[in-house]
Amino acid sequence: MKEIYNQIWKLAKPYYEKGRPMDIGHVSWMMVEAEKVCQAEGLDDSLLLPLVILHDVGYAEVPNDNPFKIDMRKDHMRAGAEIAERILGDMNYPADKKDKIVYYISVHDNWALGDDSVYEDKIMSVFNDLDFTWIVAPNGLEGLADILEKSLEETLKWVENDDKPDRRPFATETTKKLFETLLEARRKEVRG
Ligand SMILES: [Fe+2]
Ligand SMILES: [Fe+2]
């Protein structure tokens, strides 16, 4: 991991410690995968990595509740954009990139509001692939099962029936393959 991203992560972590219990694992996993996708697909990591690292910091400043509630979605995006603006500003991150990243964070879960238009942007589309794919990462399914208060089998079905691939098709071969490989691994674990 590039030093600059470790620095952003260090500044973001205290917020995640106050946020949702699974987010440290969620974001650490996404950071590693995002770096690999950038290398494999020749993408600009200077936007994707900070977006990944900072996207859910806003949960630190919203009351602990079900993240599937619409108001919580909106509030964590708004609060997250403000925190990201402060962190990247303090680090003197290039202003044009900072503004883009802050904007991305302010709309990163717009799919939950019924608006998929922001994912026409490649960085946002790859981001959404990874944010969604975490559900089938080694600890992701348990994390989601806790939130949904469902069994692993029910949660797996929930993932399989999600309309993400139709509404927001995987942006790259790398992220598509990653999702399929991990989904298969979770199927084997849960169903044998
Ligand atoms: Fe989010
Ligand atoms: Fe997330």
Q: Nearest ligand, CA of residue 30?
A: 2
Going from the Cα of 26 to the center of ligand 2, the distance in angstroms, rounded, reads 7
Q: Please report, for residues 3, 18, 78, the alpha-carbon distance to residue 60 in angstroms, rounded to integers and kept in the order given.
A: 24, 5, 12
Among the bound ligands, name the one nearest to the CA of residue 52.
2
Q: What is the pLDDT at residue 65?
A: 72
Q: What is the pLDDT of residue 68?
A: 73
Is the pTM here over 0.85, yes or no?
A: yes
Domain boundaries, the chain: 3-191
Asked whether the beta carbons of 148 and 158 are under 8 A apart, the reply is yes
- CA distances in angstroms from 163 to 61, 79, 112, 171, listed in the order given: 29, 27, 11, 15
Cα 23 to middle of ligand 1, angstroms: 10
| Contacts (Cβ under 8 Å, ≥6 apart) of 99 | none
Q: What is the CATH topology of the domain spanning 3-191? A: Hypothetical protein af1432 (1.10.3210)
* Single-letter residue type at 181: T
Q: Which residues lie at CB < 5 A from ion ligand 2? A: 56, 131
Q: What is the pLDDT of residue 12?
A: 98
Measure the CA–CA gap between 169 and 29, rounded to whole angstroms: 21
100-117 pLDDT, tens per residue?
999 999 999 999 999 999
Q: Are 115 and 74 in contact (CB under 8 A)?
A: no
**94 C-alpha vs ligand 2 centroid, how far in Å?**
24
Ligand nearest to the CA of 143: 2
- Positive or negative, the CA dihedral 18, 140, 97, 109 is negative
State yes or no: pLDDT of 143 exceeds 90: no
Q: From CA 27, how far away is CA 31, in angstroms rounded?
A: 6
Q: What is the pLDDT of residues 47-73, one digit of tens each?
A: 999 999 999 999 999 987 776 788 899
Question: Ligand 2 center to residue 23 CA distance, Å?
Answer: 7
